[in-house]
Chains A and B, each alone.
Chain A
Amino acid sequence: MNDAQSRRFKLLRQLFGVFLRIGPSTFGGGYAMIAMIEQEIVHKKGWMNEEEMAEMMTIAGSAPGGVAVNSSAFIGYRLAGILGAVTAVFAITLPTFMIVFLLSLLSTIFKDNEKVTAALQGIHASIVALIIVAACKMWKSSILDAATLMIAAIAVLLLLFTSIHSLYLILGGPLAGIAVVLCKRKLGMAVRTEKPPYEEKRELQYPEYYI
């Protein structure tokens, strides 16, 4: 193994180690994990600077998927190419996978236990609460004017009263966005397509992905 190869291997091993440690802290997504990534990657290892962190947040927040997987893919790719991305994503997913696996084994053992069923029902209620909180936060960053309010309302109504596949909504959203912006420009109205960056940092970027 030559020098460059062994350095690359060492970097991959380090990436694996760091994201394996971050993995379990992705509980509740957003805040906790981003803070920990910043601590490890920017301050401790010096692998990225603040500006690259901001880039990471933009991508992680807009690509499909959870923010944890997206950020680790970004960091891994920046540092060590495609193999780095795969390593980082594998490392961040592994602990969660094990925990979920363990839970599902436990659940088969305690399946018909009354207490467990009751506990799961309680958890169900608090997850509904977390979804509501996530919806409120997402609302703040997405409902910027009457048009976006209309789009969200139409989406909810379609979901409630028709059996529309959400895929069509996700395809339709960008089209509606482009149409609205074009129309408004034609009419000479100013459109703000995003929240101002200051608010955006706290309100939009993190909490969209609450878990």
Chain B
Amino acid sequence: MLWQLFIVFLKVGLVSFGGGYAVLTLIQREAEGRGWTDLGEFQEVVAMAGMAPGSIATNAATLIGYSEAGVLGAIVATVGIILPSLILVILISAFFLKLYNNDWIKSSFYGLRPIVTGLIIYAAIHFGLGGRGEAVPSWSMIGMLLICAGSIVMVTKYKVHPFAVILLSAVAGIVVF
């Protein structure tokens, strides 16, 4: 079990270009495929992961690891998702810094960046609509939309700190739902 957690999150860590949001759906897929979480549980994991500092993907790994195999599971999953970043950054800073001016590398990132954008857009669609297909009372749908729109305005227009937005939305959630 521990080994499996480690390997799965190692794999996720290796492809986590673009930070947390881009790999959320990948984590969900891996976790659901192995029966570690169902959709509702995963949405709770994401909400809690977003409440803590740090990368949302790393936090999700910690939470899933803990729920599957306790403290040790949490540690193993966290180490797994961080390890590829650690090794790659060391390798790049030791040997490959010059490569950033290489034409092939530049072209690769030119193609990779839109993919990461696509992954994040998909994550937004997926978590925005995902699992709300069943008969959800429209009141909660409207509430979600209002909180979501309000948060966007607060973050972009008034530059409110994301943590403050998350706290406010928790309060809003208690009021609305």
Contacts and interface: CB of A to CB of B under 8 A. Distances in A.
A binds B: yes
Interface string A167-198: 10110111111111110000000010110000
Contact of B176 (A68, A118, A170, A194): A118
Contacts of B128: 128, 132
Band of interface residues on A = 35 or more
Contacts of B86: 69, 73, 85-86, 89
Contact of B14 (A64, A117, A177, A193): A64
A27 B54 CA distance: 6
Contact of B117 (A77, A103, A142): A142
Interface stretch (A2-10, A11-19, A38-46, A94-102): A94-102
A100 B52 contact: yes
B72 to A, nearest CB: 12
B115 to A, nearest CB: 4
B47 A69 contact: no
Interface in B16-59: 16-26, 29, 43-44, 46-59
Given A28-B162, A119-B174, A127-B46, A132 B111 contact: no
A56 B74 CA distance: 29
Contacts of B3: none
A166 interface: yes
A74 B89 CA distance: 6
Closest 9 CB pairs of A and B: A122-B173, A177-B111, A155-B118, A65-B85, A66-B55, A174-B108, A129-B151, A126-B169, A28-B162
Interface of B: 13-26, 29, 43-44, 46-59, 62-63, 66-67, 71, 74-75, 78, 81-82, 84-86, 88-90, 92-94, 97, 100, 103-104, 106-125, 127-128, 140, 143-145, 147-152, 155-156, 161-163, 165-166, 168-174, 176-177
